[in-house]
Amino acid sequence: MTQKYYEFFCPVKVIAGKSALEHIPYELTGLAAKRPMIVTDKGVRAAGLLDPVIAACEESGLEIVTIYDDVPPDSSTTVVRDIAGIYRQEKCDSIIAVGGGSAIDTGKAVNILVSEGGDDIAKYSGAGVIKHPLKPFFVVPTTAGTGSEVTSVAVITDEAKGVKLPFTSSFLLPNAAIIDPRMTLTLPPHITAATAMDAMTHAVEAFTCMAKNPLSDAYATAAVKKVSRSLLSVMDNPKDVDGRLELAQASTMAGIAFSNSMVGLVHALGHATGAICHLPHGLCMSLYLPYVLEYNLETIREPLGDLLLSLEGPEVFSATPAARRAEASISALRKLRDQLHKRCQLPRTLKETGKVSEDQRNQIAEMALDDGAIMFNPKEVSLEDARAVLQRAWA
């Protein structure tokens, strides 16, 4: 009898492609929502990204009741409480989060408060605390990397206690994710590169870590293929609408993959580096990916070799002996990083970031060892192992 078992869940309606934003009014009406609130940040508003969202709604006679545009990069319990207060005051009935990871997480947390009641978001922290469906919630991502539009997790900082509160529930998943290439057209090159490598890492770890399964594999390989094929062309031609859509879809697909199969050591090291050295998450992912794959190599040789087809295409795959495909996959990722470094100086080593000191490496290793992602890494990681990976990633 088979020993294999897996779970897969993604009820998010994905609305993707040309004029996707114009579907928002119809979709909201279908959920009996008439008074949406937009949750976003100042950068998104200043870049004019709200305009097509508002225009799409107004043209269909749907009024955006209120806009909260002051979500900080690390959202807090106070911000969530304030937004929930505005939502109630304005008698809103639905939320549209427009932005990156922070705006989306904030939207999820606000939805908990306005649906479940109260002002203290902390009491809903943890796994499975929320037991009922929440208010209609739509997400319009403006970066192509986090995959937050299809994950059932939100992280909010409790400023008073100085801790990050995790919220996990399938009810946090939005009703719809609207992937419109107009929303990522103006992303600057270094953010395009870092967020795309974030999506790439989600997909590669989803495909090589312990909770991989046939359904997440399908999403992961498709995401790897899209990033490999489109990232450099978008870097060379940022107004490439088709390429932008490919990256945005890759991000969503990688999000579906990793939220159903989890991630591993790259994320454990990346979370620790982000917390200690304040480096952007996507950059950390890009930086650590090849070094961690090298560390895991003998445990993941087969799936990593299979990924070569998605990374380099059928010609390279068939021309590479099966025994060399795993190494060739790592080389393909290194080559991609070199190209990104050439185009926008995306760091490939800790030294190149200029923001990590040698003595912080031990701290990163210790913190990474306690990160939840490490549980799903296919190879056991000791403190010495983590230090060794950091040493290789140094320069």
Partner 1 sequence: MLAKRIQPMVSQARRLYVELMFQVMGRALQAVSEVDDAVKKETQALPAGFLFEMMVMPNGPRLIVEHTGLGRLHYHGASAPRPVDLSIQFKHIAHAFLVLSFQEKTAVAFANDRMLVDGDISYAVRMTRVLNRLESFILPKLIAERAVKEYPSNLHLPHKLISAVRIYLKVATNFVETVRA
Quote the Cα angle for 155-274-385, to 5°: 110
> Judged by CB under 8 A, does residue 118 bind partner 1?
no
CB of 112 to partner 1, least distance (A): 18
In angstroms, what CA-CA distances link 94 with 32, 87, 114, 336? 9, 9, 9, 41
Q: At 176, list the tokens.
A: 């719809």
Q: Considering only the stretches 61-69, 285-293, 353-361, 369-377, report the one whose residues sit in contact with partner 1 under the rule CB under 8 A.
A: 369-377
Helix (H, G, I), strand (E, B), or coil: what is residue 336? Answer: helix
> Judged by CB under 8 A, does residue 24 bind partner 1?
no
> Judged by CB under 8 A, does residue 11 bind partner 1?
no
* Residue of 2, 3, 89, 318 interacting with partner 1 (CB under 8 A): 3
Q: At 118, list the tokens.
A: 């109260």
CB of 358 to partner 1, least distance (A): 24
> Judged by CB under 8 A, does residue 128 bind partner 1?
yes
Concatenate the DSSP letters of all residues of 168-217 into one string.
Answer: E-GGGS-SEEEE-GGGTTT--HHHHHHHHHHHHHHHHHHHHSTT--HHHH
The answer to whether the CB of 240 falls within 8 A of the CB of 233 is yes
Read off the DSSP letter of residue 293.
H
Report the alpha-carbon distance of residue 58 to residue 55 in Å, rounded. 5
> Judged by CB under 8 A, does residue 198 bind partner 1?
no
CB of 91 to partner 1, least distance (A): 35
Q: At 182, list the tokens.
A: 């107009």
Helix (H, G, I), strand (E, B), or coil: what is residue 79? Answer: helix
**Exposure class string for 307-328: b at 16+ Cβ within 10 A, else e:** bbbbbbeeeebeebeeeebbbb
* Residue of 215, 275, 369, 388 interacting with partner 1 (CB under 8 A): 369
Q: Considering only the stretches 179-187, 200-208, 250-258, 363-371, report the one whose residues sit in contact with partner 1 under the rule CB under 8 A.
A: 363-371
Question: How many residues form the binding site for partner 1 (CB under 8 A)?
Answer: 21
Q: How many CB atoms lie within 10 A of CB 85?
A: 14
CB of 277 to partner 1, least distance (A): 19
Read off the DSSP letter of residue 325.
H
> Judged by CB under 8 A, does residue 370 bind partner 1?
yes
Q: Considering only the stretches 181-189, 204-212, 276-284, 328-336, report the one whose residues sit in contact with partner 1 under the rule CB under 8 A.
A: 204-212
* Residue of 20, 178, 262, 340 interacting with partner 1 (CB under 8 A): 262
> Judged by CB under 8 A, does residue 55 bind partner 1?
no
* Residue of 2, 5, 48, 131 interacting with partner 1 (CB under 8 A): 5
* Residue of 30, 118, 126, 188 interacting with partner 1 (CB under 8 A): 126
**Contacts with partner 1 in 140-169 (CB under 8 A)?**
166
> Judged by CB under 8 A, does residue 375 bind partner 1?
yes
> Judged by CB under 8 A, does residue 105 bind partner 1?
no
Binding residues vs partner 1 (CB under 8 A): 3, 5-7, 126-128, 166, 209-211, 262, 369-372, 374-376, 379-380
